[in-house]
Amino acid sequence: MMRQYELVERVLKYDPKADEALLNRAYVYAMKAHGNQKRASGAPYFSHPLEVAAILTDLKLDDATIATALLHDTIEDTDATRTEIDQMFGPEIGSLVDGLTKIKRLDLVSKKAEQAENFRKLLIAISSDIRVLLVKLADRLHNMRTLEHMKPESRKRNSEETLDIYAPLAGLMGMQSLREELEDHAFRWLHPEAYQAVTEKLIEIRGRNRGLVEEIRQALARKLSDAGIKAETSGREKKPYSIWSKMERQQISLEQLSDIFAFRVTVDTIDDCYRVLGIIHTTWSTVPGRFKDYISAPKRNNYQSIHTTVYGPRHQRVELQLRTHTMHRVAEFGIAAHALYKEQRTLNGERVALEQVTNGAAVAPVKDDSPYGRLRVMIGTLLEAENPEEFLEHTKLELFHDQVFCFTPKGRLIALPRGATPLDFAYAVHTDIGNEAVSAFINGRHVPIDTRLRNGDEVVIETSKSHVRPISWEAFAVTGRARAAIRRAAREAEKRRYAELGRQLLSSTLSSAGIDYVEEKVKSAAPKFHLKTAEDLLAAVGRHDIALQDVVSAVAPLAPGMPSAEGYKPARRFGRAQSQDGWFNIDKVMSLKFRAEDAGAVTTAISIRGANNDLPVLFEPGGAVPGDRIIGVMSPGEGIRIFQIHSPHLKEFEHQGWIDVTWDVDPDNPQRFPAHLSVTAVNAPGCLAEIAKIIGETGGNIDNVKMVRRAADFTVIHIEVEVFDLVHLNHIIAGLRAKPIVAKVERLFE
């Protein structure tokens, strides 16, 4: 276990101005607080926070972060309190320790929900101070290094969480070395057989190619030295998880992999990077399709490098990375290579972010497209998820994929996950553009909105303010931002539809009793049901979450002649119940109505227009068309289900009660409605074509055709046809019956 003076010396080596007294206090306090606590391995518990602090010294982090690492488990696992930490170490460190502590203090039902909520808490803490993430990643790394002492189920759960969340998050922050180690530890425990196979194969390849890496490295060094370029060259073997992932992704065997080794050339300037590239490409043949320039187009974690693959010495495929020394530090340590993790300090009397301070002088602030800036944007998107599982899904979508680079017409670079569509592109540009997106032009060619994008595509989005975005678009959206926006819009649209249904139900009920519907009264009644707005209350009525009669009583409690809840006798017809005072109550969600002969009033029914109405309306098997007598049945979570009065399925819903509904057809905007026909026709060539011709000539639209029975002389055909109304449908039926090839035509309600 590292001694106190050793830790302090490690920090002072890269930060001579570090607060030595702070580090000593934190070391002693944490050691005493953890006392005789032991880890699963039997080692003193204090060895864990000490190792976490040591990992962070390798990243050359500030003294406050090192102190936080030493203290990060004290509030959770000892008698220490936040107040005590604040008093001894200051509110800055107290806040960091508290942020890490809150992540663990949750009591949720499912492991999946626990994982999602823990990570949600982590991201909220990160959004205020990136050092929370750095300590958490170091904490996870040390836990993964000692995972063999845990129970098998804990190893599996921690490994899955590491591979799903923490390793990609380290990658998002550009901390590649830390990411690779996390991945390899998780790979070892999740897929032990694959891990063993890959590592054994690597040992074999290493023995077979003994000396090859050094030979290639020296050949590179000689070429660059001859050209007068000062460069450092190094070769390394790829990590087991990286190799296995490539095998899985490309569906190839280990024997087919030809680029197990990677070489890095590090130079002083960007100009030198491109000079090295020219020398390499003119010396050795390039491998087609294996060139990427991340200097001119950096990855979203600020990673910069040139990647190329050539056939090098011994005609061996050699993968090369060309970068400057500064780029190399960013590639290895990511966000930890900058001062982004600091909060604020005072400069010339003004508070500025530390990333704006360089050697005592203020410089331009870091742009929003920095890794931390993008992380804040990502967190804002992720936290819009409706539930923990949806949040976790969005998180994985944001963290996992490789990138594709596309451009706006003005040349703005948009980085997206591989497999992204113009819809994802639209949301990346602006939420409003995504909400109004209809289709797209890619490189001047008109394409559907679900077309997959490729590197270098120029994308133009077609928009329409009147466009209603289908929820089905979520299926081909790739980014969490796009999916979250689509789901949010779908929830809002669904709420509006149910609110309109609730409004019509309530208005109809009140109108039947001679009472005017007043929105303000509904708004005033909402708090009685623990809801904020009138729309919330009406949507609850429409969804059948709150009984209609309860809302009627709340909106008009003292209205003259309104029936009481007592005295109702159930009657089966249309789900009505007749009261002793002559009022009708439609069970559950039905309207209270006067008897027409007693009150001299006309029954008010809910008006529907069909599938395109604002109300959630579903047509049951057999369909219905204007002119049919129809009945509505409330279906929680779906809306109103419409049945033709002769439908045999209606009897299944007698216990629920029925809603009186009527057609509301706009003659200026005719709509088609579904009806099903059974046609028995002569089994002769051209029979189906003639039937289709008759339906088409009479203005009908065939939606589906099915041959249900075929004999030597006759065929029974079921046809789903869309018509404007009952007169139109009867005209089609009459036209079919008039043809000699048709023996029988009848409507189906199955």
Highest mean predicted confidence (pLDDT) among 67-76, 333-342, 383-392: 67-76
DSSP string, 179-236: HHHHHHHHHHHHSHHHHHHHHHHHHHHHHHTTTHHHHHHHHHHHHHHHTT---EEEEE
Task: Check whether 492 has a pLDDT greater than 60.
Answer: yes
List alpha helices for 35-110, DSSP H. Answer: 47-58, 63-71, 74-77, 82-89, 91-102
- Close Cβ partners of 91 (under 8 Å, ≥ 6 residues apart): none
pLDDT of residue 187: 93
Q: What is the pLDDT of residues 33-84, one digit of tens each?
A: 999 999 988 899 999 999 999 999 988 888 999 999 999 999 988 999 999 9
Say if strands 261-267 and 673-682 run parallel, antiparallel, or are unpaired.
Answer: unpaired
pLDDT of residue 259: 62
C-alpha torsion angle, residues 38, 43, 47, 49 (rounded to 10): -40
pLDDT of residue 189: 93
Q: How many CB atoms lie within 10 A of CB 454?
A: 12
Give me the residue label for tokens 């090369």. Answer: 320
Query: Rounded mean pLDDT of 448-457?
Result: 83
- pLDDT interval class at 573 (50, 70, 90): very low
Copy the structure tokens of residue 291: 């060139």
Copy the structure tokens of residue 635: 């279906």
- CATH fold for domain 4-184: Hypothetical protein af1432 (1.10.3210)
Q: How many CB atoms lie within 10 A of CB 314?
A: 11
Task: Check whether 271 has a pLDDT greater than 50.
Answer: yes
- Close Cβ partners of 11 (under 8 Å, ≥ 6 residues apart): 18, 23, 57, 63, 66
Comparison of pLDDT for 711 and 559, the residue scoring more: 711
pLDDT of residue 287: 85
Which residue, among 135, 168, 153, has the nearest Cα to 57 in the 3D structure? 135
Highest mean predicted confidence (pLDDT) among 241-255, 350-364, 591-605, 700-714: 700-714
Query: Rounded mean pLDDT of 366-388?
Result: 53
pLDDT of residue 55: 93
Percentage of the chain lying above the pLDDT 70 cut: 75
pLDDT of residue 656: 63
- Which member of 20, 77, 114, 332 is catalytic? 77
Q: What is the pLDDT of residues 72-108, one digit of tens each?
A: 999 988 999 999 999 999 998 998 888 787 655 443 3
- Which member of 76, 215, 237, 293 is catalytic? 76
Q: How many CB atoms lie within 10 A of CB 472?
A: 10
Task: Check whether 601 has a pLDDT greater than 60.
Answer: no
Query: Rounded mean pLDDT of 123-137?
Result: 75
Instruction: Say which CATH class 196-337 falls into.
Output: alpha beta
Copy the structure tokens of residue 719: 């046809």
- Close Cβ partners of 10 (under 8 Å, ≥ 6 residues apart): 54, 57
pLDDT of residue 600: 34
List alpha helices for 475-579, DSSP H. Answer: 480-512, 519-525, 534-542, 548-555
Told to judge if 164 belongs to the known catalytic residues of this protein, a careful annotator would answer no
Told to judge if 268 belongs to the known catalytic residues of this protein, a careful annotator would answer no
Give the least confident one: 296-305, 352-361, 671-680: 352-361
The number of CA neighbours under 13 Å toward the Cβ of 299 is 23
Q: What is the pLDDT of residues 214-261, one digit of tens each?
A: 888 888 888 898 888 999 888 877 788 888 887 776 666 666 665 677
Instruction: Say which CATH class 673-748 falls into.
Output: alpha beta
pLDDT of residue 7: 92
Task: Check whether 617 has a pLDDT greater than 60.
Answer: yes
pLDDT of residue 208: 73
The number of CA neighbours under 13 Å toward the Cβ of 401 is 17
Phi/psi at 723 (5° precision): -135, 170
- pLDDT interval class at 132 (50, 70, 90): confident
Query: Rounded mean pLDDT of 615-643?
Result: 76
d(CA 570, CA 578): 7
Query: Rounded mean pLDDT of 144-164?
Result: 88
Domain residue ranges in the chain = 4-184, 196-337, 673-748
Comparison of pLDDT for 487 and 75, the residue scoring more: 75
With H, G, I as helix, E, B as strand and everything else as coil, classify residue 605. Answer: coil
pLDDT of residue 120: 61
3-state helix/strand/coil string of 350-377: EEEEHHHEECCEECCCCCCCCHHHHHHH
* Dihedral (CA of 645, 650, 651, 657) sign: negative
Question: What does the mean pLDDT of the chain come to?
Answer: 77
Q: What is the pLDDT of residues 524-542, one digit of tens each?
A: 888 888 888 988 899 888 7
Amino acid at position 651, single letter: K
* 8 Å CB contact between 216 and 224: no
* 8 Å CB contact between 410 and 464: no
- pLDDT interval class at 354 (50, 70, 90): very low
**DSSP E strand stretches across 636-688:** 639-644, 659-663, 673-682
pLDDT of residue 115: 55
Task: Check whether 277 has a pLDDT greater than 50.
Answer: yes
